[in-house]
Amino acid sequence: MRTLKSQPFVSMVLVAINVIVFIICHFTDDLLYDLGVLDLYSVMVDKEYGRIIWSTFLHSGMNHLFNNMLILFFMGSMIEKEVGHLGYGLLYFLSGIGGNLLSLWAKMKNHEIAVSLGASGAIFGLDGVLLALVLFSGRQMENVTPLRVGIMIAYSLYSGFTSKNVDNAAHMGGLITGFAIMGIICIWQRRKRERREGM
């Protein structure tokens, strides 16, 4: 019997929250979208900084939600088992924030008025976390190799850049954030372990 520690309950909770929010959005028209989508004016002028997080729980349609939640659950469960519940939750939200901050910067630089929403930035952050784990942790993960993760990331980025109405800056920002944070943690843990073994 699997212990509570091995259960991916943070991934399940995140999926459940996204689904519940989507259902609420269906019955409240544009109310939650108006309050939560990421746009430059609301954040920079009205100082509604909460949108940097709230927008990650909003999705434009059933396909958008389904694709993100499918990846979130299966990849998230794998990463949650490796880094623990708290670490996984922090990495997820920090990746989402990093993605949205880069998205805001790109909107400002390009004078864009488009809005953004969705968990994709945070999910790309999980891609970055997974890549850092297989490159730097020194641990073996079943059926996970740097090549496979690299191909998955390359395909995801390609799909984004060849599609319309996709916030690629959020994807890149999440990917970089997740990879950078997990990479630093892995390198620090390995050096700490090596020092302990060398004593």
> Contact, 78 vs 130, CB < 8 A?
yes
* Tokens linked to 23: 């259902």
CA 26/CA 7 separation, integer angstroms: 30
> Contact, 14 vs 72, CB < 8 A?
yes
Q: What is the CA radius of gyration of the chain?
A: 18
Helix (H, G, I), strand (E, B) or coil at 163: coil
> Contact, 120 vs 173, CB < 8 A?
no
CA 176/CA 198 separation, integer angstroms: 32
> Contact, 147 vs 99, CB < 8 A?
no
Q: Tell me the catalytic residues.
A: 120, 171
Q: Facing residues of 141 across strands?
A: 144
Give me the half-sphere count of Cα atoms (radius 13 Å) on the Cβ side of residue 184.
6
